[in-house]
Structure 1
Amino acid sequence: MTYIFNKSTTPELFIASLTDGIAVHLKNLYDLGARKFGILSIPPLGCCPIARSVSHGGCDDDTNKLASAFYTSFEFRLQNLSSTLEGFKYSLGNTYNMTMNIINNPRGFKNVTSACCGTEGPSGLSDCKEGVDLCPNRDDYLFWDAFHPSQKASILAAHVLVFSQDQNFVTPEAFITSSSSRPVSLTKWPNTFNVLRYSNQSKHIQLLRILKASISTNNFSIISQTYQIYMAMTLITQNPVLIVIYIAIIGVLTITKKGVASQTTGPIFIFGDSTVDVGTNNHIKNCSARADHPYYGIDYPGGVATGRFSNGLNSADGIVQLLGGYDLSPLPFLALVNDSSNFTGDILHGVNFASGGAGLLKETGEIFYGQVISMEEQIQQFATVQGNITASLGGSEAGLLLKDSMYIISVGSNDIMEYLFSHLVPPEVLIANLTAIYAIHLKNLYNLGARKFGILSIPEIGCCPMARSFTPTGDCSEEANNLAVASYASLESLLKNMSSTLEGFNDPFSVFKDVKSACCVDNTRKGFNNCSEGVDLCTNRDDYLFWDLFHPTQKAAILAAHELVSSEDPYLVTPINFGSLRKA
């Protein structure tokens, strides 16, 4: 900015001098021991409010050309330093491109030209100080004062610098990769989630670099291709008797560890939401997402409402039965904690951590249901289990047991359902955030010893009775289904990229007479209403695909579990089915 006002030399000489000067500073830091450099280039200063105020409201082209020229010159100099100084590593953030991207596509910002704090007067824009004009909604503004970005803009930029794989924004690699010796800490998770929620870079928020940087390439491989199973809506329209069963709607990703030196199969650990919850929420005082009352469990042995969101068994039960060694899902973690007489012995048979209403995001479920156990907290509970198993068996034997165990995950639907009521960010940002957070969860489970993952993706939730109740015609919600499809595509893309570094990581049709309605529901009310004693209850529950407004019937859940465990069709489960994974 100083040069703009005096122009004591030509622009070319000025850029050369500036580049040389910074190179000297970097060399001095290198001589003092520095090796990893995260560098932010010069942003488009010609578009900041102070420049616009003296340029009749538009960006100042001369200033921006200098910033752009500096980036080109400086990038070349950094490449030279990297090739000549041993151990010199750098990440160069292109804040020019980042800022111009927002200015040209201002999604998430209502004002990308003015300062939030400052008064425009005849002599230009004033300093930000008490008494000047202050915008009422600071998150609407790209610029805080005459020169500097707002907090929201700064957080967005920081997230792109740390995680982006787009070399238009950071080159040659993201900051997190240049600093790969520092893995994500559990204590940092809340801050990570908050940053992700505010991100506005739909295609550039991936945590692949974390995984690439910190997992040995010889330990674990992941599928290179996965598939989404879509509900056959044309079949439903033409012949309501035929339908692809509910959880076969979901694509299934199976991840396996090769070469584990163990001839036994380890226990099964289950994570996620109400699709696989077997009573966790019964033990949470301030949780309204509960299924421990009639008519839930009406077909469970003894007619007991166990906390499963079903008329009887759910997918967790069906899967573990078919995998062998289990009659029902392992008990909930909180149930084992509350009856701790044989906690260490019980956890060796597996644990179910899933909590109805939970999601990938830590805050999902809190608004509608009060307290639920988020995926982050479920993994922290598993860390307790892992610690107890290690203390009981010793590090080597516990490690082999955990590597040979199976980890089933079904989560993400609640994140999308809550988004439909808020639309806090563009849909592509939501999907990118959910994919990135999923990567964090998988990485943290991996660090705790997990190797075999059976992952159930998000079904076409726009076709569940709750979503249909909000559409004028009672048809599927296209918006909800589009988000489900996009979430799978994004996860697939992430996993394809991971497959290059993480080695070692496999329609049915049934007869339902009703594939749209809930079997247990108060038909006099629209929208949210619970399956409870006294509401309408269908006479033949095996005729129904859906038990309540969200969840499949016992019949649908068991049919789906059968396909997950036994199917040889790669359209349903890939690269191998859960049964083969269990034996791997």
Structure 2
Amino acid sequence: MGPLMKLRSPLAFCSSMLLCFIVLLLVCCKIKGVVELPPNVSVPAVIVFGDSIMDTGNNNNNMQTWARCNFAPYGKDFPAGIPTGRFSNGKVPSDLIVEELGIKELLPAYLDPNLQPKDLITGVCFASGGSGYDPLTSKISTAITLPDQINMFKKYLEKLKGIVGEDRTKFIVANSVFLLVQGSNDIYNTYFLSHARQLQYDLPTYTRLLVTSASNFLKEIYELGARRVGVFGAPPIGCVPFVRTVLGGIVRECVENQNEACKLFNNQLSEELDSLNQNLPNSRMVYLDVYNPLLDIIQNYQQYGYKVEDRGCCGTGELEAAVICNPLAPPCPDVEDYIFWDSFHPSESAYKKLVASLLRKHLYQFF
């Protein structure tokens, strides 16, 4: 036995062998991705923060919130037809992105009671339906706030260190892709719908507050080791079915002041990310434009193979979302005809188109 082996205890040797086995198993079990990464580039995991666009089930056991969907008809087209807490008929962008990158098929919720230690190594989702950059937004919907999502991430890091060790944890965090999706709930629910902030702020000031919150969040996860971070802009919420029903008049047109608010926020967010990249060494803070791709799908829906652009598949499609989209509101015969699954959230089909567009346009910016 060599001198190095004499210095290592049997327990340390077994732990090292177990770690090697886990890493080898994960490498062998990766699925075949669609996108090609640059040579010598590794993306070991995807870590997601945000709202219902990305939530893969963190709100399931939060009985105080209306922002839950772990019941039919949600999940109608998910594997085995199971309602998992994803706000869609099937997969959401969290899942589609890890699948496209060849990491795994689904991104589990961090609060999933069936979460396994091996799941942590390739990434989890901390997003919570109903949350926002504005603390009042999460309070209105009783969602998991961004500070609480960061606290969960810190606990995740400790668990990950216990599985793969501190050095490997640092490598995973530094090379993973982080994603952040917020803003829609702030702009529509907190500012326009409840009027809770209109008495305090004009719109440019309010969107600047949201961007400041985003910036503080990004600085905090940067200090925790994150380097590759994709930040989604706000979509054209003035064109989602619910907003068209409530504010779009008899013909349910897109509501332009909502869309203008989103564009204002997006411009400010993009500029802030440019500033962060200049001031945070080795950071890759990437602005991900979803506004224009989704608006193009809505305005040219027939070219994308859809028949209905202004209603969701669930129930009448005009108001049903979350607890209102339930077994008493049966879905349409063919969800493939619809851009939206419910009155707020796109269908899996539309998400696939958006994710493919985003990766083609922005993936290189992370490296």
TM range (shorter): 0.7 to 0.9
Q: Displacement, 1:265? A: 2.8
Instruction: Give the corresponding residue for 1:530.
Output: 324
Secondary structure of the equivalent of 2:309? strand
- When normalised by structure 1's length, the TM-score is 0.49
Instruction: Give the corresponding residue for 1:214.
Output: none
Instruction: Give the corresponding residue for 2:111.
Output: 334
Cα separation, partners in 2 of 1:387 and 1:540, compared to 1, 3 Å: same
Cα separation, partners in 2 of 1:328 and 1:523, compared to 1, 3 Å: closer
Tell me if 1:359 matches 2:143: no
Cα separation, 1, equivalents of 2:181 and 2:105 = 20
**After TM superposition, which residue ranges in structure 1, 4 or more long, deviate above 6 angstroms?**
523-529
Cα separation, 1, equivalents of 2:320 and 2:105 = 37
Secondary structure of the equivalent of 1:352? coil
Secondary structure of the equivalent of 2:180? strand
Q: Displacement, 1:529? A: 7.3
Tell me if 1:304 matches 2:82: yes
Q: Displacement, 1:295? A: 1.0
Cα separation, partners in 2 of 1:397 and 1:373, compared to 1, 3 Å: same
Unaligned ranges ≥5, structure 1 = 1-257, 568-572
Instruction: Give the corresponding residue for 1:420.
Output: 192
Paired letter, 2:160: I
Instruction: Give the corresponding residue for 2:71.
Output: 293
Instruction: Give the corresponding residue for 1:346.
Output: 119
Cα separation, partners in 2 of 1:394 and 1:306, compared to 1, 3 Å: closer
Q: C-alpha offsets along residues 456-489 of structure 1, whole Å, 9 cap, x if unaligned?
A: 1110101001100112131111121111000001
Instruction: Give the corresponding residue for 1:387.
Output: 158
Cα separation, 2, equivalents of 1:282 and 1:527 = 15
Cα separation, partners in 2 of 1:292 and 1:349, compared to 1, 3 Å: same
Q: 1:363, 1:374 within 8 Å by CA — same for their partners in 2?
A: no
Q: Displacement, 1:392? A: 4.0
Q: How do 1:161-310 residues align onto structure 2 when only pairs under 5 Å count?
A: 264-310=42-88
Tell me if 1:324 matches 2:102: yes
Q: Displacement, 1:346? A: 2.9
Cα separation, 2, equivalents of 1:388 and 1:299 = 33
Cα separation, 2, equivalents of 1:391 and 1:402 = 15
Alignment root-mean-square deviation, CA: 2.5
Q: Displacement, 1:447? A: 0.8
Cα separation, 2, equivalents of 1:440 and 1:555 = 33
Cα separation, partners in 2 of 1:291 and 1:407, compared to 1, 3 Å: same
Secondary structure of the equivalent of 2:310? strand
Instruction: Give the corresponding residue for 1:514.
Output: 308
Instruction: Give the corresponding residue for 2:6.
Output: none
Q: 2:242, 2:319 within 8 Å by CA — same for their partners in 1?
A: no
Q: Displacement, 1:403? A: 0.1
Cα separation, partners in 2 of 1:527 and 1:411, compared to 1, 3 Å: closer
Q: C-alpha offsets along residues 481-531 of structure 1, whole Å, 9 cap, x if unaligned?
A: 111000001112222333433343375762211111111134697999721
Cα separation, 2, equivalents of 1:333 and 1:313 = 16
Q: C-alpha offsets along residues 323-374 of structure 1, whole Å, 9 cap, x if unaligned?
A: 1121112x11111xx347x44x33112111111111112231332x3x2111
Instruction: Give the corresponding residue for 1:33.
Output: none
Q: How do 1:369-384 residues align onto structure 2 when only pairs under 5 Å count?
A: 369=141, 371-384=142-155
Cα separation, 1, equivalents of 2:74 and 2:351 = 14
Larger radius of gyration, structure 1 or 2? Answer: 1
Q: 1:410, 1:457 within 8 Å by CA — same for their partners in 2?
A: yes
Cα separation, partners in 2 of 1:300 and 1:325, compared to 1, 3 Å: same
Decide which of 445, 452, 467 is 2:221's aligned counterpart: 445
Tell me if 1:464 matches 2:240: yes
- When normalised by structure 2's length, the TM-score is 0.77
